[in-house]
Structure 1
């Protein structure tokens, strides 16, 4: 009992006891407040986690959608490139065919022109040769004929011309 009396007489004991009573009251009073605060915080964290999960799912859906769009865009660009290449090859083939046709036409025109030039040259040479032969024949006739025979031939020529004119 003496121990108990000493214990009750000591200030430290009362201080400890009052602190424990105060702590028990605080825990009793503050426990529902702290619990409701913690519960509220837990609910906020759960909401944040649910929202984060929803955002993650939405982000995955958007990523999948953008990947599909990207894949479609790549396929479309490949189609466009293929079409452009096909069109370019068709244009090239058409241009080559047109060039071949133009070259053939030009070649034919040149051959035709050369033939005309050749014919003109032949005609000119023949005309020149005929003129030369006529001049030579005339000169030979003049040199070989006397005046009497010359007058007779001129007369016959005039008669032939008159006969041909009428």
Structure 2
């Protein structure tokens, strides 16, 4: 008997001992458990991936909504700014018109007052000139009566 025969016997005994201690079943169940663990981990990873995709979609939707809201706010702010600009321009135009009218009234009043002052001064000068002329030519009671009558006539014409 040679060494090959004894190696074959040892191999058969080795397999018999392995079978007796149920090593193939243990290895198989261990491999099954490992395969089940890997399958569970893959399933969990798939669920986590789906949750992550759902969260990503939710955040993208919220981001789009926020962008749309921001655009709406900006558009509304632009409209409000335009409205305020129009109102400010209208108020400014009204103020300019009021001030222009007030200035025109003041100018008219000043013109009227100047004309009245010029007329009064002219009347005073005319009365004074008439008095000097009449004093030189007419004397006494006739001069006084004529003077009073002339003054009243000039004043009547001015008013």
Determine if the TM-score, normalized by the shorter chain, exceeds 0.5: yes
1:139: which partner in 2? 132
Task: Write the distance in 1 (CA, Å) between the matches of 2:128 and 2:58.
Answer: 102
- Is 1:81 the counterpart of 2:74 in the alignment? yes
Q: Deviations over 1:7-66 (max 9, x none)?
A: 1xx5x8646643552355236632222211111111111111111111111111111111
Cα shift at 1:110: 0.6
> Which of the pair has more CA radius of gyration?
1
Task: Write the distance in 2 (CA, Å) between the matches of 1:106 and 1:156.
Answer: 51
1:163: which partner in 2? none
Structure 1 residues 122, 156: CA separation in 2 closer, same or farther (over 3 Å shift)? closer
What's the Cα RMSD here?
A: 2.3
| TM-score (normalizing by structure 2) | 0.81
Q: Deviations over 1:71-92 (max 9, x none)?
A: 1111111111111111111110
Unaligned stretches of 5+ residues in structure 2? 149-159
2:103 counterpart (95, 98, 110):
110
1:151: which partner in 2? 141
Task: Write the distance in 2 (CA, Å) between the matches of 1:57 and 1:27.
Answer: 45
1:123 counterpart (110, 116, 119):
116
Task: Write the distance in 2 (CA, Å) between the matches of 1:136 and 1:155.
Answer: 16
Task: Write the distance in 2 (CA, Å) between the matches of 1:13 and 1:131.
Answer: 165
Structure 1 residues 122, 155: CA separation in 2 closer, same or farther (over 3 Å shift)? closer
Q: Deviations over 1:77-125 (max 9, x none)?
A: 1111111111111110111111111101111111111111111111111
Does the 8 Å contact 2:134/2:143 carry over to 1? no
| TM-score (normalizing by structure 1) | 0.77
Task: Write the distance in 2 (CA, Å) between the matches of 1:134 and 1:106.
Answer: 41
Aligned length, in residue pairs: 147
Does the 8 Å contact 2:18/2:24 carry over to 1? yes
